[in-house]
């Protein structure tokens, strides 16, 4: 199977996981990226069995709406049983690096609200140690240089993602060569830099279930 087929297979595994719990009142949190897109397309086949979705990006909202799936503002939703999203890296503690698609802040917000965060990825995303993928950091535009200098003090090499403006009107710094020891601590340290909106480490709120598509089948990791 190629990488796209693995992404589609793991998206189907997420559908199979959530499908028995869905009721006509269920609202599902939906992530952003190519794996999440496969999930949306498959979810559309079960439209009559849940109420709607909360989207983690404008792109995801548009795709959901194209399928006729109602999209709710998170503020009008009191209960989100599942959040399903991809990742750029995942370790065996189900800590993640996300934000390759620049949607990290809304993704982190929806993940925080959801009772169960299901991460879906092809097997290449599983790593022993996080950090080979440059860590995305969403930054208020006027703070870009200040935040970059602070990130250098933490040992990283921040690179401005040229031409990208997030759905929240901010910019992204991709931090290369970071030594990620204890991920929850580094996540908080970076978030404490004035001007940072959030960073792509999902360690304080890791996934609850990690589904990985491999050529040997779906691997399931839980916390």
* Cβ nearer to ligand 5RP, comparing 4 with 79: 4
User: In the Cβ-directed half-sphere of 12, how many Cα atoms lie within 13 Å?
Assistant: 9
Give CA–CA dist 197/187, Å, rounded: 12
User: Could you please report the per-residue DSSP string of 49-107?
Assistant: GS-EEEESSHHHHHHHHHTT--B--GGG-S---EEEE--SEE-TT--EE--TTS-HHHH
Q: Is 62 a known active-site residue?
A: no
Q: How far is the CB of 34 from ligand 5RP (least distance, A)?
A: 3
153 is in an annotated binding site: no
Give CA–CA dist 211/105, Å, rounded: 22
Q: How far is the CB of 107 from ligand 5RP (least distance, A)?
A: 6
* Cβ nearer to ligand 5RP, comparing 51 with 109: 109
Local structure of residue 193 (DSSP, 8 states)? S
Question: Which spans of this chain sit near ligand 5RP (rule: CB under 6 A)?
Answer: 31-35, 85-88, 98-104, 107
Give CA–CA dist 168/138, Å, rounded: 9
66 is in an annotated binding site: no
Give CA–CA dist 183/62, Å, rounded: 33
32 is in an annotated binding site: yes
7 is in an annotated binding site: no
Strands 209-214 and 116-122: parallel
Strands 116-122 and 89-90: unpaired
Q: How far is the CB of 97 from ligand 5RP (least distance, A)?
A: 8
Q: Which residues contact 116 (CB under 8 A, 6 or more apart)?
A: 81, 82, 83, 208, 209
Q: How far is the CB of 48 from ligand 5RP (least distance, A)?
A: 27
* Cβ nearer to ligand 5RP, comparing 42 with 146: 42
* Cβ nearer to ligand 5RP, comparing 99 with 131: 99
Catalytic residue of the set 89, 95, 107, 150: 107
61 is in an annotated binding site: no
Which residues carry a binding-site annotation? 32-35, 85-88, 98-101, 125
Residues with catalytic roles: 107
Which residues carry a binding-site annotation for substrate? 32-35, 85-88, 98-101, 125
């Amino acid at each position: 199977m190629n990488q796209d087929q693995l992404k589609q297979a793991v998206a189907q595994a997420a559908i199979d996981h959530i499908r028995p719990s869905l009721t006509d009142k269920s609202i599902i949190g939906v992530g952003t990226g190519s794996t999440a897109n496969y999930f949306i397309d498959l979810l559309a086949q079960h439209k009559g069995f849940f109420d709607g979705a909360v989207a983690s990006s404008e792109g995801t909202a548009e795709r959901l709406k194209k399928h006729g799936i109602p999209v709710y503002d998170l503020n009008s939703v009191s209960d989100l049983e599942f959040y399903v999203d991809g990742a750029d890296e995942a370790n065996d503690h189900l800590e993640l690096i996300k934000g390759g698609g620049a949607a990290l802040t809304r993704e982190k917000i929806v993940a925080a609200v959801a009772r169960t965060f299901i991460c879906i990825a092809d097997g290449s995303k599983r790593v022993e140690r996080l950090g080979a993928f440059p860590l995305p950091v969403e930054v208020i535009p006027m703070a870009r240089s200040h935040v970059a200098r602070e990130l250098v003090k933490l040992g990283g090499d921040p690179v401005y993602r040229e031409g990208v403006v997030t759905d929240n009107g901010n910019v992204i710094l991709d931090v290369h060569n970071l030594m990620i020891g204890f991920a929850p601590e580094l996540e908080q340290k970076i978030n404490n830099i004035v001007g940072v909106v959030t960073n792509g480490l999902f360690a304080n709120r890791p996934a609850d279930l990690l589904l990985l598509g491999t050529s040997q089948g779906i691997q399931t990791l839980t916390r």
